[in-house]
Structure formats: C-alpha cells, structure tokens
Chains A and B, each alone.
Chain A
Amino acid sequence: MMGTMTTEPIPPFERFYLAHRDEVLGYLRRLLGQRAEDAWQETFLRALRAYDRLEHGKHLRAWVFRIATNVAMDELRARPQPLLDGEPVAELRRDAFRELEHFTTELPPTERAAVVLHYGYDLPYAQIADALGSSEEAARAAASSGVRRLRRTHERHA
C-alpha cells in the first residue's frame, strides 16, 4: 500500500526475540563459527538495552542483524583467526552460494557479512548497508568484491 503513515507498533520484546533468535544464531554461526553463542547472547542483550528507545517497530529484522553484525565485527577484529565451523550449515537459499559458502571464513569481515547477509539471508542491499553502517553502494561493492574473492578462492581449491 502506498504512503502508509501508520506507525508500526513495537511488539513486546518476547515476541521480537522469538521471531529472530534462531536466524540470528544461524547468521552468527556463519560469521563466527564456534564463537557464535557468546556473540548471539551479546546481540540480544544489546537489543534489549536499546529496545525501549525504539521509535517504531519497522525493520526490526534489519535492526537486529545490524546489531549482530556489529558484535561479529568487534569479535572478528579482536580475534581475526577464522575458526572453522564444525557444524554443517542448514538450508541455504542459493545454489551458487551453497557451493562457495564454506570459503566465506576467508573473507575480510565486511565482505563476509555483506555476502552472507545477501546470499544467505536475502537481505536487500539497503538493509545490509544499515547493518554495516555504510552506504548502499558500499554494501553492494563489498558483496561483489566478496563474491569475486570467493570465486578466486574456489578456483584455487578446485
């Protein structure tokens, strides 16, 4: 519908948490492997701390992915050695990505987040830009540079 000006109410935190806890954990596992659980808890604690300052309930999914990305970036910068994820990744939406996905641990943090958010979670670039705190162009560039790097890595290993 065009021009809906009605403000989206903020759902009680419990409902928001139940709606997003699993996919945020999946996302953080892709970025951080075994280190995901601490980052996951930190993500929802940060969300909870900020939750009563939200002005509306729009784009909460992008919002929590942004927090998760920030937490993951902090973690990757603090301890950049990628840990190999022991667990197989569940359901991926794009075949090409599925083939390359396990190489994402070799990408720099921003490219890794952009690639995983776009190809693993179908987030549009505007929302990825939000998550990364960058412009939409920069998010798109990070993803495509990440994909190029993935392909090169893949060819090296092939």
Chain B
Amino acid sequence: MNVTPDLDARFRAAAIGAGVVDVRYDLVDSPVGELRVAATEHGLCRISYFADGWEDALARQFGVRVLRSPLDDVRRELDEYFEGKRRSFDLPIDLRVAPFHADVLRELALVPYGRTETYGALAAKAGRPGAARAVGTVMNRNPIPIVLPCHRIVGASGALTGYAGGLEVKRALLQLEGAILE
C-alpha cells in the first residue's frame, strides 16, 4: 500500500507547520551538479555537493528530526545565481561553527561577486595575518559553499589551489561570475 505523492507532500507540510523538525533539506539541480541544501528554522545551514552521509551529518549537527521538504527560497536564489541574475544572496544563514571559523566566514561573505582574494589577505582581514593555512582549512570545511563564496579564495600566485566540490566546479563558478576567462 504505497503512500501517494499527494499524501506524502501533505505530511511533510504538516510536519514543517507543526514546528517539530530540527532540519529540513531539499535537492536543487544546478550547472555544477545536484546540490543538497538544508535549513533550520533560523536559516540556511548547509550546502553540499555530495550525497554520501548527508542525512547523518545533518542529524549529528542539528538533531535527528531531519525531513526532506521544499526549500523554495533557497532554490530560487540559487537558480537566479546560476542564471547570472543574482550577485549576492539574501537568505538568512544559520552558521554553527567555532569562533575563528565564524570570523573568517564573515569576512569571506564580504568578498564581492566576480572578484578573487588570496588566503593570506582573507586571514589578515579576519585579524589573523599569517594564518593563510588555517584559512584554507576554514574554506575546506565551509558548511555553505556558493552562498559563502569560498570559490573566490585563491592561492597567492592566483592558482585555484583546492575546492571541496572539485577544482572544475571552482573554475566554473569563477567563470560564471566573470572572475576568470575560459
């Protein structure tokens, strides 16, 4: 006896409406692959390029009441970004990271669309000059890539260095923004 899509959707909506979900998530198609996006009642909390262990990771950090449910605002802003119609995001953010990570990610959020910044320069802005390597770790663990634009951070030589979603994705995002040429 299979649950119909309509009944399923009604349950998910009722669950969100009842305010008893710790974290909800959705899947969003994009030119750089299928993205997993998650939000708490406070705002967007995760974006991931990977399916493996996704729900378990959400459960560990935000609580076991994990439920898939449409995140229309997130989907719309990401769609607009990938269509080149949006240069910054207006989504509320729920950032749960250690203080140093929070400082760095706050500065990261200020790096403008279409520009790049070096790890060292970002470290200096976050009040930790010389901590380029630590900033690299923060970028690598960025819970909300794309919206917190770690793809705009490059090596001192201008080399793209690394990206959690893969270098080709980093290159694609910078090309989309016009920060680098083909």
The chain A residues found within 8 Å of chain B, CB to CB, are: 10-15, 17, 21-23, 25-26, 29, 37, 40-41, 44-45, 48-49, 51-52, 54, 90
Residues in chain B near residue A17, CB distance under 8 A: 67
Chain B residues, CB < 8 A from A14? 55, 66-68
Smallest Cβ distance from A69 to chain B, in angstroms? 16
Structural contact, B15 and A26, CB atoms closer than 8 A: no
B68 touches A37 (CB 8 A): no
Given contacts A45-B15, A45-B18, 4 further A-B contacts (CB under 8 A): A14-B67, A15-B55, A17-B67, A21-B3
Q: B10 at the A/B interface (Cβ < 8 Å)?
A: yes
Evaluate contact between B58 and A40: CB separation under 8 angstroms.
Answer: no
User: B52-92 toward A: CB 8 Å interface, digit per residue (1/0)?
Assistant: 00011011000111111000000000000000000000000
Number of interface residues of B (CB under 8 A): 23
Tell me the minimal C-beta distance from B73 to chain A in angstroms.
20
Cross-chain contact A48 with B1 (CB below 8 angstroms): no
Cα A7 to Cα B55 in complex, Å, equals: 19
Cα–Cα distance between A41 and B58 once the two chains are bound (Å): 24
Main secondary structure, interface of B, reads mixed
CB distance from B29 to the nearest CB of A (A): 20
Q: Say yes or no for B160: interface residue by CB 8 A criterion.
A: no
Q: Which residues of B contact A12 (CB under 8 A)?
A: 55-56, 58-59, 64, 66
Contact of B1 among A29, A44, A49 (CB under 8 A): A29
Most interface-central of A12, A15, A17, A26 (chain B CB within 10 A) = A12
**Which residue of chain A has its CB nearest to the CB of B21?**
A48
A21-B8, A44-B11 in contact; A10/B64 too (CB < 8 A)? Answer: yes
Question: Is B20 in contact with chain A by the CB < 8 A criterion?
Answer: yes
- Least CB distance, B39 to chain A, in whole angstroms: 14
Count chain B CB atoms within 10 A of each CB in A11, A14, A44 and give the residue with the most: A14
6 contacts between A and B (CB under 8 A): A10-B64, A22-B3, A37-B7, A45-B14, A45-B18, A90-B1
Closest 9 CB pairs of A and B: A26-B1, A12-B66, A12-B55, A12-B59, A21-B3, A13-B65, A25-B1, A14-B66, A41-B11
B64–A41 CB distance below 8 A: no
List A contacts of B137 (CB < 8 A): none
Shortest CB–CB separation between residue B23 and chain A, in angstroms?
A: 9
| A88, chain B: closest CB distance, angstroms | 10
Given contacts A21-B8, A25-B1, A37-B7, contact A44 B15 (CB under 8 A): yes
The reply to whether the CB of B22 lies closer than 8 angstroms to some CB of chain A is yes
Closest to B58 in A: A12
Inter-chain contacts of B21 with A (CB < 8 A): 13, 48
Q: Is B157 an interface residue (CB 8 A)?
A: no
Give the contacting residue for B7; candidates A10, A13, A41, A52; CB below 8 A: A41
Cα distance A45–B15 in the bound complex, in angstroms: 6
